[in-house]
Amino acid sequence: MTIHQNLIAGEWVGTEAVKNINPSNTNDVVGEYARASADDAKAAIAAAKAAFPAWSRSGILERHAILKKTADEIIARKDEIGRLLAREEGKTLPEAIGETVRAGQIFEFFAGETLRLAGEVLPSVRPNIGVEITREPVGVVGIITPWNFPIAIPAWKIAPALCYGNTVVFKPAELVPGCAWAIVDILHRAGLPKGVLNLVMGKGSVVGQVMLDSPDVQAITFTGSTVTGKRVAAASIEHNRKFQLEMGGKNPFVVLDDADLTVAVEAAANSGFFSTGQRCTASSRLIVTEGIHDRFVAALTEKLKNLVVDDALKAGTHIGPVVDASQLKQDTDYIEIGKGEGATLAYGGDLLKRDNPGFYLQPALFTEATNDMRISREEIFGPVASVIRVKDYDEALALANDTPFGLSSGIATTSLKHATHFKRNSEAGMVMVNLPTAGVDFHVPFGGRKGSSYGPREQGKYANEFYTTVKTAYTLA
């Protein structure tokens, strides 16, 4: 089997490889991918540093052409890359193709942004002096991405980094090297100069640590666990570098008595269980007022019974497997924790067998949960959700905000008054009304509050706040 190598200074390198296993069928090896060493990571950083002066001053048409060519190829190959994504991560094929298209759209957006780079010219408060305010690239950007969105998250970090003239050292999650390799290969063939984009696949404890320790990495953008995010922050403060963190979530979805029941159930099922619940924006806290509680639980349970859990590539599958054995154990451990805390397992939670060996878990729904239970406080990151009964909107809002996280929140209601109040008073970076908490647009800001995020927002034109630094220049006329 061909080894998919790391890209360092424009050359494909690496002989030691690990197998990429399909969670829908553990007998299926998706491919073999090189594992970078600490020396490889150091070489990648040095290459990015050397490439920065020329790339940071490159013409905007050159950057536009490379990003646009990348976008076009990703979209043209959406079925092929989507299939790769489904095989390595376990997301259903329609979801995987949709994520691939989104990655292409992100590159297309930032291709356009290269032609919209702008500054300001202002008069000085002093006579005969002009003031120019411009944005310049930061330098070498370290990019560390998670396994749950193998192509979209790398795209929304790499595209703006390159758009604004930075060079990149990219470390994807070990579980999903396939999509990362594919996107780097496309960018490389699109004409990126040597050293501008470097791929170092491997262990976070090795490759990631070198990135954290290097004074030559001027910025790090990280999406992953809260624990690792704190390590990124501490190391970045040591080097006085910019850092951007997207971490955990324990997102609430509120259902009020006046909600359209069909809308509420569809949004809750999507929020909590689609993509196997493996989304930082997923809703695992369903906060439901008592007047609609029993009808909502009955309807959601019926919905879950009709969801098909199977191979991600099989037509008709609604929910694919959990990503690996470690994550599956975490999910089942939390199901036992929920039972032990006194919540009622109203549906699901069983391990499932399918035609091929894989990490299949029946969606689990708890009822009679309280907001102080671990299953209501800690991020599970699987198809497990809890219903918390409340008396009215005020109690629902209070519980929704009673969390150390603040990424996304949602409400199902037909009341304009409550919808408006919730949008204003929900302590989350993103608020959804009669929509799933998971599902965002690529051209607007993404990010949260409290323990969920730190630093400037991702995506859209707001990305320039992280990937650029501001310069103010004064000229005597």
- Catalytic center residues: 246, 280
Q: Residue 224: left if φ>0, alpha if ψ -120 to 50, beta else—which one? A: left
Which residue type, as a one-letter code, is found at position 102?
A: R
CB of 301 closer than 8 Å to CB of 171 = no
> What does the alpha-carbon distance between residue 233 and residue 218 come to, in Å, rounded to a whole number?
13
Rg (CA), the chain: 23
Nearest 10 degrees: CA dihedral of 180, 185, 190, 196?
70
d(CA 267, CA 278): 16
170 contacts 154 by C-beta, under 8 angstroms = yes
End-to-end CA distance of the chain: give it in Å, rounded: 66
What is the distance of C-alpha 335 from the center of its chain? 24
Angle at which helices 416-425 and 393-401 cross, to 10°: 20
d(C-alpha 265, C-alpha 267), whole Å: 5
Cα torsion 151, 152, 154, 156 to 10°: value is 160
- Phi/psi of residue 179, nearest 5 degrees: -65, -35
Compute CA distances 17 → 28, 59, 76, 431, whole Å.
16, 37, 29, 42
Residue 394: burial class (beta carbons within 10 Å; 0-12, 13-18, 19+): exposed
List the alpha helices (DSSP H) in 22-89: 38-56, 60-76, 78-89
Q: Check: CB of residue 288 under 8 Å from CB of residue 261.
A: no
